[in-house]
Every structure is written in structure tokens, then in C-alpha cells.
Structure 1
């Protein structure tokens, strides 16, 4: 079975969501189903059907999270030697050589990616171009708008 890289923070977020679903959401929907059953005829009982549908979503998400956690390879980048090389989990400051704009990205697992929060997937074109490079290197990334050249300003293990 393939292990999927995940940051410590990504694993923590999934574990918290799992706890919320199992400890709060699941019991709440079970109570809602029981209450709706007491109202009699289930065929035309909208509350019952909505609660059953919600239960299906909750159980599906619990299974999905448990599956992700079972295949996760949690990588704590703060415990890895700082070599200046771009690896999974590091935070990279880049200088766009065309626009002189600076951007900072953290390279994370696919499920953790959130471009607005500065987290890019390890499988994204920019991360694939950066992996293995070092501080001071220039790297060309193919984007939908054409090639963009970046200089790697810093690689941090945060």
C-alpha cells in the first residue's frame, strides 16, 4: 500500500475532525433519527429522511478520514536536518524573476493544499519543480500562463 505524505498539522486537523464527527455529529444525528421516528409515518417524514441523509454523509466522511490516516506517512519537517534543499513539508520563499514579487509556499500533502493559505500540494507543478533544488537556485515552472522563473530565497523547516 502506498503511503501518502502528510504534515503533522495536516494529521492533527484530520484527527480533530474525526473526533468531532464521532463524538458530536454522529450522536446528534442518531438522536435526530430517534426523535423523527417518534413522529410516526416515516414515508412522509422529512426530518427523518434529512437525518438519515446526514448520517450517510457523516459515516462516509468518517470512513474517508480513517482511510487517509491509515495510509498517511506523517513527516515532521522540524525534526529533519536543515540542508537548504527543498523537500516535503518545508516552507519556501521564492522571488518571481519576471515581476520581482516574493511568494512563500509550504509544500504539503494533496489533502492539505490551500493556495490562499500558502500551502501547495507536493504534486503541484511548482512543488515538483522545486523538490530537490536548493536556496539560491533558479527554477522554471510551467504554469497555465506560460513559464515563470523563480529564485529560491530561503528554505525553512517550520
Structure 2
């Protein structure tokens, strides 16, 4: 399996989620199952089935987090610099169609959250940005049609 690139902040957030799910959520779900079991007939016990479903979802996410954290390649953003876009860069773009500015940080897949301004390194817009410089224009094919962007600023935190 290949390493999963991520920022230190992303790694900390995933590790915190893992800790919460194993030390807080898991015991609460086990308690909910025990309480539901005490109510009797399990075949028609909605609380029991809901708690078991919650347990299954939680355990699945715990396994996913274990895999991600084991394969994590934490990249120290303080050591990055340069004039071209690469992993960890925070890029300010101008949408050439709407004249709207957007700022995105290019991060690893598990920590991506477009609404928070973090886009995945494997997203179409990030792939189009990699290797480009300030002043370059890119075109990104999107479900709603192609969009053109100009790179206004590149910074490394």
C-alpha cells in the first residue's frame, strides 16, 4: 500500500477522532446495547437494532482511521516553499468567469473539506494547479461545465 500524504494538522485531527471513537463513543454504544438488551425480546427491539447499527458504523470508521493513520506520510508545511503550486500550498484563485476570488489549501484526501477551503491533492482543480505559478491560468472541467481560473497568490504556511 502506498503512503497517504497529509498535513500535521490533518493527522492530529484524525488521531483525535480515532481517540474519541475508541475511548468515548465505543463505551457509550456498548452501554446502549446493554440497556436495550435488558428490555427483553431482541427481535422487535428497535433500540437494540439501532445501537448495533451504530456500533457497526463506529467500528468501521475506527478500522478506516487505523489504516489511514498507519499509512500517513505527514508533511511538515513549514519546510515547504517555492514559486510553484505543490502539496500544502495555499492558493488564491480568481474565477475568470465570475471575477470571484477563492482560496484553497491543497491537502491529503482524508483531510479534504472544500467548504473549509481544503481541497484534496487528487481533486481535478488541485491536479490542474500542481506545478503552476502566479499569473498562470488553468481550466478545470467540472460537472457544470469548464471553469477558468487565474492564480493570484501562492503561499506556504
Q: Give the superposition deviation at 1:117.
A: 1.7
- What per-residue deviation string (whole Å, max 9, x for no partner) do you get for residues 55-109 of structure 1? 11111111111111112212222222x1121011111011233443221111112
Match of residue 156 from structure 2: 157
Residues 1:108 and 2:94 aligned together = no
Match of residue 28 from structure 1: 28
TM-score where L is the length of structure 2: 0.88
Match of residue 129 from structure 1: 128
Distance 1:29 1:103, change over 3 A: same
Tell me the C-alpha RMSD between the 2 structures: 1.9
SS of match in other structure, 2:153 = strand
Equivalents in 2 of 1:147, 1:21: separation in Å?
40
Residues 1:8 and 2:31 aligned together = no
Moved more, 110-119 or 8-17: 110-119
TM-score where L is the length of structure 1: 0.87
SS of match in other structure, 2:134 = coil
Moved more, 51-60 or 21-30: 51-60
Contact 1:107 1:120 in 2 (8 A): yes
